[in-house]
Amino acid sequence: MSSPFAPLFSLQEVCKDYPLAEKGGQQLQQVWSLLRGHSPRHVFRALSDVSFSIHRGESLGLVGVNGAGKSTLLKLMAGVVTPTHGTIERNARVGALLELGAGFHQEYSGRDNVFLACALMGLSRRETLERLDGILAFADIGEHIDQPIKHYSSGMIVRLGFAVATSVTPEVLITDEVLAVGDESFQKKCMTWMESFLAGGGTLLLCSHSMYHIQKMCRQALWLHEGRVRMQGSAADVIRSYLAWHEERDRATKAKSSAELAAQQAGGIYQVKSMFLNGRDSAEPILLPPRGTLTVSGRLHSPDGRTPQVAVGIVRADGTPVYGIVSEMDGHALTAGADGLFRYAITFPELPLLPGRYVARSHAMDPEGLRLFDHVERPFEMGGTSREFGYLQLRHEWHDDPEVPSPP
Amino acid sequence: MALSRAWRHRWLLRSLLQRELRNRYVGTVGGLVWVLVHPMLMLAIFAAVFQYVFQVRLPSASPEQPYVLWVALALWPWLAFGESLSRGTVAVQQHGDLVKKVAFPQELLVYSAVLASMVVHATGYATVLVLLRLWGYEVHFAGVFLVGLWAWLVLGCAATGVALFLAALQVFVRDVEQLLGQVLAVVFYASPILYPLALVPAALEDAMVFNPLVHVLEPLRQAGLGRQWPGATVLVAAAAGAGALWVLGLAWFRRLSPHFEDQL
């Protein structure tokens, strides 16, 4: 172990290529070129130019979509994989939990598997015996420990794996999305262990799709995208950008699919051409006072001149529907203006919504009211403060002496 | 150098070896008893077929040195050698899940496969020789023990070296395992195990010199029969050759091992 200020991990321009499967006789050729130190001809680059370092106590969270190279990076850092180019300096005792039950043999008992797993991590038999009680207590498998692990549930296996990986008191613990398997109480146990591990100066390298776990455990985060570092910095910043990117992508795919839908319908579709909240057309939320009045209005395009219907709804910012109505339900018919567009306006007086963010939506529907076409939304905010729960303020009265009718 | 990594991970090697031995008998009722039953059965077959049915007589053998003892002295070392190679060759491929998930010196997988084969058949060897002695045959135990120790070590080192070479190759080219089975069958009949060197036609006898197994199995057999101690040249040359095989095999293995994970 070098000086205490040296980074625990230091990666310089690390690349990892995976050779693509070769056919027939080319396998021998491949061995020959590897022996001469040449790289294979047909490769898939899983990671390229990844450079960063981790210092003691700076836990790092890895985020990225499936296939971004997260697992490859963890394997590289755990020493399971050698980089194709670049260097990895490792100055720490590393405990790795790359996959649930890696190195466990189905036919053997939990106890036997603990011995081999500990030996794989470099523990001697005596050291393993010293730790055995702790491992068994943490894994909490009870008398099943002497049963072959093929009879274990996946939760039991992950508990055993975690207990073993943590028994070496590593300086760096590498885990790859394994916590997701355990049940609630085990997850809590792991979290508690990790918190005390972090408090004791341990460093965590966590790959997870749970932003909550990353934010809770890691100060730093690294966002991998298509094998490259897309962003690196404080966990909060990286997670925010990562989530924003996801929303962006979802929207892009949605926009694409609705554009395709439009293209399919050659004659055009019923469309919401414009939408206003209290006369304003703004992507920024308009502010309403408590019990304020909301008027949703706009224009619809009809491809065939027939009178379309309009559906207007209010949802919470998270998408929970609050209220929705179609013009046909009230027997209201839209009228066309001089421009050929159909006008609609609906007023909700004294809106009984609790403070918070909401979204108003307008949908264009065909004259039969069967199909929903377009979809436009505008945000608004109900002002004020309230300690009530839910999202509707229901009319209510309190009584000193409620007159409860007595059961007959 | 070759051994230091294995020594540092001796506990792992021991665990892998235990596992390798238990793997053969895991789930069986007889368990390790099979280690003893199998060679006894094999001995019985050899005795029945060759001694009583074929009534094989060796050209130069005296009557108290029957064919069974003569064969047994060389057969078990061969079984150990052949099995070391066939099990060692697939050792890395078989433990692919381990190689892909855990960082550890992967040559230990080959070592444990070879060691396990050696241990199993050495036990069988001892059992068979003791049984033959009890049967009344003259086994020269001092010769078997001293020269046997040398022979088994030489075979073990050589098998380790070749197995390291083949195990690494097997990861890339899966044909190695298939090919090895054929090659081992040929080598078995090309070595003086079931027949004495004296029976080999003169034209082939010269070629036999190039079969390294001859130089290990023959001295062992001669010593076991109490006929002749091997010369120092043979002892040293065979040991040096086996050691060289190990070193070369390990160098080859280490060169390719960083790429194992890509292939498994």
Across A102-111, B2-11, B143-152, least confident range? B2-11
pLDDT band at residue B119 using 50, 70 and 90 as cut-offs: very high
- Nearest CB partner across the interface for B172, out of A18, A30, A81: A30
Task: Give the residue numbers spanning the domain of A282.
Answer: 271-382
Judgement on whether residues A233 and A275 belong to the same structural domain of the protein? no
- Nearest CB partner across the interface for A80, out of B15, B26, B102: B102
Judge whether B26 is closer than 8 Å to chain A, CB to CB. Answer: yes
Judgement on whether residues A282 and A346 belong to the same structural domain of the protein? yes
Across A44-58, B51-65, B164-178, least confident range? B51-65
Judge whether A19 is closer than 8 Å to chain B, CB to CB. Answer: yes
Q: How many other C-beta atoms can be found within 10 angstroms of the C-beta atom of residue A42?
A: 12
What pLDDT digit, counting tens, does each position of B26-77 carry? 666 666 788 788 888 888 888 888 878 887 777 665 555 678 888 889 999 9
Q: State how far residue A100 is from chain B, nearest Cα, in angstroms.
A: 10
Instruction: Note whether A98 contacts B101, CB cutoff 8 Å.
Output: yes
Across A259-263, B73-77, B172-176, B239-243, least confident range? A259-263
Answer yes or no: is pLDDT of A343 > 80.
yes
Judge whether A78 is closer than 8 Å to chain B, CB to CB. Answer: yes
pLDDT band at residue B244 using 50, 70 and 90 as cut-offs: very high
Q: State how far residue B115 is from chain A, nearest Cα, in angstroms.
A: 17
Q: How many other C-beta atoms can be found within 10 angstroms of the C-beta atom of residue B36?
A: 16
The reported pLDDT for the residue numbered A1 is 44
- Nearest CB partner across the interface for B15, out of A81, A102, A116: A116
> Is the residue at A48 inside a domain?
yes
For range A316-340, the mean pLDDT: 85
The long-range contacts involving A137-146, CB below 8 angstroms and separated by at least 24 positions, are A138/A162, A138/A163, A138/A166, A138/A167, A138/A189, A138/A193, A139/A110, A139/A163, A140/A186, A141/A110, A144/A110, A145/A109, A145/A110, A145/A111, A146/A109, A146/A110, A146/A111
Tokens of B259: 């790429």
Q: State how far residue B165 is from chain A, nearest Cα, in angstroms.
A: 12
Instruction: Note whether A115 contacts B15, CB cutoff 8 Å.
Output: yes
> Is the residue at A114 inside a domain?
no
Judgement on whether residues A278 and A235 belong to the same structural domain of the protein? no
For range A254-267, the mean pLDDT: 58
Q: With b meaning 16 or more CB within 10 Å and e meaning fewer, what string describes B153-165?
A: bbbbbbbbbbbbb
Judge whether A124 is closer than 8 Å to chain B, CB to CB. Answer: yes
- Nearest CB partner across the interface for A102, out of B14, B101, B259: B101
Judge whether B255 is closer than 8 Å to chain A, CB to CB. Answer: yes
pLDDT band at residue A196 using 50, 70 and 90 as cut-offs: confident
Which residue does chain B place closest to A118, by CA atoms? B12
Of A404 and A137, the one with more pLDDT:
A137
pLDDT band at residue A2 using 50, 70 and 90 as cut-offs: very low
Q: State how far residue B82 is from chain A, nearest Cα, in angstroms.
A: 24
> Is the residue at A81 inside a domain?
yes
Phi, psi angles (nearest 5°) of residue A309: -110, 160
Mean pLDDT across chain A = 82
Instruction: Note whether A78 contacts B11, CB cutoff 8 Å.
Output: no
Judge whether B256 is closer than 8 Å to chain A, CB to CB. Answer: yes
> Is the residue at A61 inside a domain?
yes
- Nearest CB partner across the interface for A31, out of B14, B97, B172: B172
Distance, in Å, from the CA atom of A208 to the CA atom of A198, rounded to the nearest integer, reads 17
CB A105 within 8 A of CB A113: yes
Judgement on whether residues A228 and A278 belong to the same structural domain of the protein? no
> Is the residue at A144 inside a domain?
no
pLDDT band at residue A267 using 50, 70 and 90 as cut-offs: very low
> Is the residue at A42 inside a domain?
yes
- Nearest CB partner across the interface for A82, out of B11, B101, B258: B258
Judgement on whether residues A187 and A278 belong to the same structural domain of the protein? no
CB B40 within 8 A of CB B111: no
pLDDT band at residue B258 using 50, 70 and 90 as cut-offs: confident
For range A69-78, the mean pLDDT: 87
Tokens of B186: 């040929």
**Measured CA angle at A264 (ends A340, A268), to 5 deg:** 5
Judge whether B28 is closer than 8 Å to chain A, CB to CB. Answer: no
Judgement on whether residues A236 and A341 belong to the same structural domain of the protein? no
Judge whether A80 is closer than 8 Å to chain B, CB to CB. Answer: yes
Distance, in Å, from the CA atom of A180 to the CA atom of A101, rounded to the nearest integer, reads 14
Residue A353 forms beta bridges with which residues?
A: A392
Tell me the chain A residues in contact with residue B172 when contact means C-beta distances shorter than 8 Å.
27-28, 30-31, 34
What pLDDT digit, counting tens, does each position of B75-112 carry? 999 999 999 999 999 999 998 888 888 888 899 999 99
CB B189 within 8 A of CB B215: no
The reported pLDDT for the residue numbered B169 is 93
Beta strands in A115-192 (DSSP E): 172-176
Judgement on whether residues A284 and A204 belong to the same structural domain of the protein? no
Judgement on whether residues A55 and A188 belong to the same structural domain of the protein? yes
Instruction: Note whether B101 contacts A103, CB cutoff 8 Å.
Output: yes
Judgement on whether residues A234 and A280 belong to the same structural domain of the protein? no
Q: How many other C-beta atoms can be found within 10 angstroms of the C-beta atom of residue A313?
A: 18
- A107: Cα within 13 Å, side-chain hemisphere: 9
Task: Kindly report whether the global pTM for this prediction surpasses the value 0.80.
Answer: no
Instruction: Please enumerate in sequence order all residues whose Cβ is within 8 A of that of A82, keeping only pairs 6 or more positions apart, or say none.
Output: A76, B258, B259, B261
Distance, in Å, from the CA atom of B10 to the CA atom of B138, rounded to the nearest integer, reads 39
Instruction: Note whether B102 contacts A125, CB cutoff 8 Å.
Output: no
Which residue does chain B place closest to A76, by CA atoms? B103
Instruction: Note whether B19 contacts A105, CB cutoff 8 Å.
Output: yes
The reported pLDDT for the residue numbered A318 is 77
> Is the residue at A141 inside a domain?
no
Across A202-211, B90-99, B185-194, least confident range? A202-211
Task: Please state the domain count of chain A.
Answer: 2
What whole-number percentage of chain A has pLDDT above 90?
8
Tokens of B120: 């199993």
Judge whether B9 is closer than 8 Å to chain A, CB to CB. Answer: yes
CATH, residue A356: 2.60.40.2550
pLDDT band at residue B187 using 50, 70 and 90 as cut-offs: very high
The reported pLDDT for the residue numbered B246 is 95
DSSP state letters, A176-217: ES-GGGS-HHHHHHHHHHHHHHHHTT-EEEEE-S-HHHHHHH
Instruction: Note whether A96 contacts B169, CB cutoff 8 Å.
Output: no
CB pairs under 8 A between A and B: 76
Judgement on whether residues A183 and A281 belong to the same structural domain of the protein? no
Across A122-136, A208-222, B212-226, least confident range? A208-222
Instruction: Note whether B173 contacts A31, CB cutoff 8 Å.
Output: yes
> Is the residue at A281 inside a domain?
yes
Judgement on whether residues A87 and A222 belong to the same structural domain of the protein? yes
For range B159-169, the mean pLDDT: 95
Domain boundary, last residue among A200, A228, A245:
A245
What pLDDT digit, counting tens, does each position of A293-313 carry? 999 999 988 877 788 889 999
Judgement on whether residues A88 and A230 belong to the same structural domain of the protein? yes
Mean pLDDT across chain B = 87
Tell me the chain B residues in contact with residue A98 when contact means C-beta distances shorter than 8 Å.
101-102
